Structure 1
């Protein structure tokens, strides 16, 4: 399922990241790699604050829709 479907507070693991190489590399620099644990902190209009590697990261819905958990 897409990360956008995850509920706040729910722990998930990244299974796949789609998109062009540039987008995947950008997400990887933020810590979004396959197998990594992610938790949705909050969601507002599709934009999300996500906890990954004990850091909070804000992503817009275009990027969040590239992440499968």
Structure 2
């Protein structure tokens, strides 16, 4: 399931990424790595606020759909 479909307040574990290599590198640079826990804090029309490695990060819905979680 992609992170875009997780519920508010849920904590999930990153299992994979979709997209091109440069997109995967960008996500890894932001702290999104396989095995890392992420928590969906809030959602609005343009995207999500995600907690990863103790840092709040705002990402758009397209980017969130590239992050596969379990």
Report TM bin, short chain: over 0.9
Q: What RMSD, in angstroms, separates the aligned Cα atoms of the two structures?
A: 0.9
> Over residues 4-54 of structure 1, what are the superposed CA-to-partner deviations in whole Å (9 max), with x where a residue is unaligned?
111111110001111111100000001111110000000112610000000
Unaligned runs of 5+ in 2: none
Q: Which runs of 5+ in 1 are unaligned?
A: none
Which 4+ runs in 1 deviate beyond 2 A?
Answer: none
**Secondary structure in 1 aligned to 2:24?**
helix
Match of 1:53? 53
Aligned residues: 69
- Structure-1 residue corresponding to 2:5: 5
Q: Structure 1 residue 55: deviation in Å?
A: 0.1
TM-score by length of 2: 0.93
